[in-house]
Amino acid sequence: MFLTKDELKSAAVPEVVDRAINQDDEVVTIIINESIAEMKSYLSGRFDVATIFAETEADRDQVVLKHLKKIVVDEIYRRKTGEINETTEKGYNEAMYWLKEVAAGHIPAGDLPPKVAEPETGDGFIKFGGNTRYNSNY
């Protein structure tokens, strides 16, 4: 798995996370999977997301991991209180800004693997030319 509950301690206090999820680790797993899916939707246009999120431990991209943690912690806090925590919201907004900018190509993505180009198929839809020209003698 790309991220586990135990690794969230660098982004949030473990006791607060446990209280927010009522000691139910399955909730954290669901939130992590949903957040990964959200990140994939942003990054899939330019990057090989299967490779990015298949990595484990030290092979993971640390910037992606950092922003994923911010998103997950914000979702956990919102789930518990139903309110917006100012600190987690700021982290969430930073993560979303980074995702949007990287997806648009405005900021560099570091060592993320580029999306593999798919081989072209078909006969090439574009056709050059036009209608026959006629001389008008008006």
- Residue 114: φ, ψ to 5°: -70, 155
The answer as to whether 118 is a domain residue is: no
Q: What is the pLDDT of residues 46-100, one digit of tens each?
A: 999 999 999 988 899 999 999 999 999 999 988 877 777 899 999 999 999 999 9
With cut-offs at 50, 70 and 90, classify the pLDDT of residue 122: low
Confidence (pLDDT) at 124: 64
**Higher local confidence (pLDDT), 48 or 18:** 48
**Higher local confidence (pLDDT), 66 or 23:** 66
User: What do you get for the CA distance between the two ends of the chain, in Å?
Assistant: 76
Confidence (pLDDT) at 123: 65
**Amino acid in position 33:** N
The answer as to whether 111 is a domain residue is: no
The answer as to whether 109 is a domain residue is: no
Confidence (pLDDT) at 66: 95
With cut-offs at 50, 70 and 90, classify the pLDDT of residue 26: very high
Confidence (pLDDT) at 137: 74
Tokens of 136: 């008008």
Confidence (pLDDT) at 112: 92
Quote the CA–CA distance of 94 and 123 in Å, as a whole number.
44
pLDDT of residue 23 exceeding 80, the answer is yes
Residue span of the structural domain in which 96 resides = 5-104
129-138: average pLDDT: 77
Q: Bridge partners of 47? A: 114
The answer as to whether 136 is a domain residue is: no
- CA 136 to chain CA centroid, nearest Å: 59
- Residue 47: φ, ψ to 5°: -130, 160
Total domains, the chain:
1
The answer as to whether 15 is a domain residue is: yes
Name the average pLDDT for the chain.
88
